[in-house]
Amino acid sequence: MFPFLIKYKKILNQDFNLIENENILKTIKGNLKRNGVDRISISNGSILNFENDFFAIRPGLNWNIWEGISKGKIEIVKNQQIREVSYLFNTSRFFIIGLTAGVFIGIVSKMVWPGFFAFTVLGLLNWTISIIRHRVNFNDLLNEVLRNNKN
- In our burial notation (b when 16+ CB lie closer than 10 A, e otherwise), range 113-122 reads eebbebbbee
Identify the band that residue 19 occupies on the pLDDT scale cut at 50, 70 and 90: confident
* Cα–Cα nearest to 46, from 64, 70, 19, 7: 19
pLDDT tens for each residue of 140-149: 988 888 888 7
What distances in angstroms separate CA 56 from CA 19, 51, 52, 75, 136, one per listed residue?
A: 35, 12, 8, 26, 24
Given this model, what pLDDT does residue 63 score? Answer: 64
pLDDT tens for each residue of 59-81: 555 567 777 788 999 999 988 88
Q: Cα separation of 10 and 82, whole Å?
A: 10
pLDDT tens for each residue of 119-133: 778 878 888 888 898
